[in-house]
């Protein structure tokens, strides 16, 4: 008997779920009873990774069966759902978090912005020295000058002590930094500083989806909603995954959305989605630039742009992941607390990370807070350890020992970026105009401390209680063996 297309589709998707359940057990949440068993010393403990089940695999296969391929209906649905979930005015999907950072910063160069706020070559953007390079790279790629604040080692975020000293009126145009490992930077000080001086704020939220920040006297708000623009990464280690992918969210004037969309989509002036024509009802009624009147609006370009869209199948996966964000966030927080309790006896060897505005941590009671009234609630990306200067081992020795036990760990990304080869070459090429360091002596001791002494362990939702116990046991055994 001939089956209808609907019957064939239903059978394919049912078999897809059955296949996924049989093959992908290692990628289920860590507390899922169906997850593959953990064998200490045999199984790998990743620092991060994909966490999914049959829902994502079915969604991906269903999208491929529809064979839209390029960004389309699934992408549009994800963008709307994500914007509503986070609380921003508009979200645009892109092909990576790094591309999101490039587009967000590039949007500030647009001729559509007021001249006094437009980012021009030679203008300055304040950021911090230690972190992931593609938070800073767009500043250079757009012809602007990075202005580096030091990092606070216990939060990983910018040390704002010299924030006012970083300002050059008329030249400083923006503040752009990441919420380090899911820990929001001091948004009270930064938002007030940007408002007072008329600066753009771009939040790199790639490591912090699910984190919230509370202004004094306010209510918790999601990170990524304080700046005019914010960015997201959906690479597999991050809070949600689309395989590859990222997003730019707009919380300021919606003109920024049209600029980002133009830059993402080849720089074109037309805002018609892929596969749809003439949404403005005057496709052949424009006269722009020196083009002839009536030139096809789909082929008019207002910016020097890129093609940085993801595929629709990625958005289909993302819609399933987004539905699990609250559970993922709770798992990250629970796993961080588990490691903090388990490693508490090792304070003679390590300093432990603290959320912004926290002054300490006590088992059973949680964090103590400063008197500002502000709070940071972290959807942790990792568990940061700072090896104390007097410890009987160095960070690299610990990293090697953990690797030998198949426990994934990472440096704090690029460490002090001005010591990286790309910035040394930039200084060789451009001299003192390459970048600016804001400090009393031209040094960045906090960023150097992070570079030399910090590593982080995983807290992602795929970690099981047995994995967390094994991590605590392994770090403890290593430290005690060095006494």
* CA dihedral over 436, 442, 446, 452, signed as positive or negative: positive
Please tell me what DSSP assigns to residue 2. Answer: P
- Residues with Cβ within 8 Å of 337's Cβ and at least 6 positions away in sequence, in order, are none
Cα three-residue angle 166-100-66, rounded to 5 degrees: 170
Closest of 12, 4, 20 to residue 65, by C-alpha: 12
Ramachandran bin of 141, using left for φ above 0, alpha for ψ from -120 to 50, beta for the remaining angles: alpha
CB 94 within 8 A of CB 100: yes
CB 28 within 8 A of CB 327: no
* Ramachandran angles phi, psi of 25, nearest 5°: -65, -30
* Pure H helices in 87-176: 97-107, 133-141, 163-166
> So which residues are the catalytic ones?
238
Calculate the alpha carbon distances from 276 to 13, 72, 328 in Å: 29, 10, 36
As given in the structure block, the two tokens for residue 112 are 């559509």
| Long-range CB contact pairs, 449-452, < 8 A, 24+ | 449/153, 449/386, 450/130, 450/151, 450/153, 450/156, 450/386, 450/412, 450/415, 450/416, 451/130, 451/411, 451/412, 451/415, 451/416, 451/419, 452/394, 452/395, 452/415
Closest of 376, 21, 108 to residue 221, by C-alpha: 376
- Residues with Cβ within 8 Å of 5's Cβ and at least 6 positions away in sequence, in order, are none
Alpha-carbon span 368 to 215, nearest angstrom: 17
């Amino acid at each position: 008997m001939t089956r209808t297309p609907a019957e064939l589709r239903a059978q394919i998707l049912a078999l897809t779920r059955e296949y996924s359940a049989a093959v992908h057990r290692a990628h289920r949440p860590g507390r899922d009873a169906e997850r593959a068993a953990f064998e200490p010393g045999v199984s790998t403990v990743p620092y991060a990774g994909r966490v999914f089940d049959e829902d994502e695999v079915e969604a991906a296969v269903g999208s491929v069966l529809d064979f839209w391929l390029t960004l389309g209906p699934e992408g549009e649905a994800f963008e709307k759902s994500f914007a509503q979930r986070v609380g921003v005015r508009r979200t645009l999907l892109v092909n990576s978090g790094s591309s999101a950072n490039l587009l967000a910063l590039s949007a500030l160069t647009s001729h559509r912005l007021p001249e006094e706020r437009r980012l021009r070559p030679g203008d300055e953007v304040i950021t911090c020295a230690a972190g992931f390079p593609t938070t800073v790279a767009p500043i250079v790629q757009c012809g602007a000058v990075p202005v580096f604040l030091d990092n606070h080692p216990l939060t990983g975020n910018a040390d704002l002590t010299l924030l006012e000293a970083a300002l050059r009126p008329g030249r400083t145009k923006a503040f752009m930094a990441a919420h380090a490992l899911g820990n929001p930077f001091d948004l009270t000080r930064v938002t007030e500083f940007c408002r007072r001086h008329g600066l753009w704020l771009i939040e790199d939220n790639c490591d912090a989806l699910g984190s919230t920040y509370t202004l004094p006297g306010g209510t918790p708000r999601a990170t990524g909603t304080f700046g005019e623009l914010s960015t997201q990464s959906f690479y597999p280690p991050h809070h949600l995954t689309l395989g590859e992918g990222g997003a730019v969210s707009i919380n300021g004037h919606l003109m920024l959305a049209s600029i980002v969309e133009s830059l993402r989509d080849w720089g074109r002036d037309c805002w018609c989605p892929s596969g749809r024509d003439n949404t403005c009802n005057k496709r052949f009624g424009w006269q722009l630039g020196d083009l002839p009147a009536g030139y096809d609006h789909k082929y008019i370009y207002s910016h020097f742009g890129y093609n940085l869209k993801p595929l629709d199948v990625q958005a289909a996966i993302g819609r399933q992941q987004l539905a699990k964000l609250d559970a993922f966030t709770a798992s990250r927080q629970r796993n961080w607390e588990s490691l903090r309790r388990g490693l508490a006896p090792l304070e003679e060897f390590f300093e432990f990370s603290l959320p912004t505005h926290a002054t300490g941590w006590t088992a059973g009671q949680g964090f103590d807070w400063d008197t500002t009234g502000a709070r940071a609630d972290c959807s942790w990306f990792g568990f940061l350890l700072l090896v104390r200067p007097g410890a009987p081992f160095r960070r690299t020795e610990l990293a090697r020992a953990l690797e030998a036990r198949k426990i994934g760990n990472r440096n704090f990304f690029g460490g002090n970026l001005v010591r990286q080869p790309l910035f040394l070459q930039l200084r060789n090429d451009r001299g003192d105009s390459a970048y600016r360091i804001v400090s009393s002596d031209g040094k960045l001791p906090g960023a150097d401390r992070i570079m030399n002494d910090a590593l982080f362990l995983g807290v992602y939702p795929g970690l099981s209680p047995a994995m967390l116990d094994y991590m605590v046991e392994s770090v403890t055994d290593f430290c005690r063996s060095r006494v």
